[in-house]
Amino acid sequence: MDKFLINGPCKIKGKVSISGSKNASLPILAATLLFNEPVIIKNLPRVRDINTMLNLLKSLGSKIILSKNKKTVTIINKKNMKTFASYSLVKTMRGSILVLGPLISKFCKSKISLPGGCLIGARPVNYHLSALKKLGMEYKIRDGYILAKSYGKLKGKTIKFPRISVGATENSIIAACLAKGKTILKNCAVEPEIKDLTQFLNKGGANIKWSGRTCTIVGINSLTQTNYTVMADRIEAGTFCVAATLTKGSLQIKNLDPKIINTELELLKKVGAKIKTTNSDIFIKGPGKIKSIKNIKTKEFPGIPTDLQAQLMVLMCKSNEKSSITESIFENRFMHVAELQRLGAKINVVNNKAYIKGNTKFIGAELMSSDLRASVALVLAAMVAKGKSIVGRVYHLERGYENIENKLQKIGVKIKRLKY
């Protein structure tokens, strides 16, 4: 397993282009199962989770044609597709559950392994299953697999999610596209990635409309040939914004609409960062002194995303006073705390709240990644630590950050891949 060697402290400067969104690409790729005609998806990030999803689609019978740079894919579905998603493909990625909706909607049956992915909480699939059941799916769980079927087409219903769930919202929207009649989904997640999914589906002929957290889908018979460009990755953009602030550096972040991370930018302004934006660029300069935020709380969009919690914790370690972070989305997302403590962080976790003592002087150490976002937080911490740090299990990083070490090297980070 490869590791990263990082020599700190670093001060970053330069330009970085943001890749396509992993979290938007995964549901869009899953939704291509609904199509009878070829679909072209552009601006895919070259990360492990995308490869996993493409391999899953291939195993179901889709023909996958990648461009030379692997950022554009043409997907052509066979007439007789398979409906079995094995554990070997599903075990490494939670997003694989998103094929359940399109398979049951189009083929009226599916056998799919319960998903794997990062060890950051239960992430129960019961919200997915409950919503799809209301649309007409019957299921049982046996030997780690969801065995699902429906008698004919799914039928539109009004469904209110008991809790806001990104994955359940996506799965239900995809499934409802080919259902009979009208489906009304209430208390939906409204993340930009979900809006990207619905724009893709509408471009293929779907009938989806939004009003606040309510999504209305009128079912159609089939979707038509289309091509679509995936939105930029707001979590990658937010990570680089935190990096510039943390290292007191200066960065131009290119190729995204700054509005999709407006909440994060406003928080970084409070910390002291100087920020200017255009329609597709962010210019950010870190402050001389990082101001603490008394209580940061992760929330569903448009709040602070849970996927930036670990990065913001590193930032608060270097702030001028005490602070706290409340994790309200996942119950087990402080696994990076122990590793930050190895660098010298003073953090006390009580239930879902972390209390952070500021003015931390990080000293380089050997570190172990536990999940995707925790791993990038350890890289950030190593960037401002004194001396050498080694970050292990970088395969976690490769699940969601495209070409991360090259991007960091180009803006002044002394980072090197150690191959094992």
Residues with catalytic annotation?
118
What contacts 165, CB < 8 A, 6 or more positions away?
Answer: 127, 128, 189
What is the C-alpha separation between 77 and 192, in angstroms, rounded? 27
Three-class secondary structure of residue 9 per DSSP:
coil
* Burial category of 80 from C-beta neighbours within 10 Å (exposed 0-12, middle 13-18, buried 19 and up): exposed
| DSSP assigned state of 369 | -
Partners of residue 285 on adjacent β-strands: 250, 274
On whether the CB atoms of residues 69 and 88 are closer than 8 A, the answer is no
CB 4 within 8 A of CB 394: yes
Rounded to whole angstroms, how far apart are CA atoms 305 and 47?
A: 20
Identify whether the C-beta of residue 377 lies closer than 8 Å to the C-beta of residue 400.
no
Q: How many CB atoms lie within 10 A of CB 127?
A: 20
DSSP 171-239: HHHHHHTTSBSEEEEES----HHHHHHHHHHHHTT-EEEEETTEEEEE--S----EEEEPPB-HHHHHH
> How many angstroms separate the most distant Cα atoms in the chain?
64
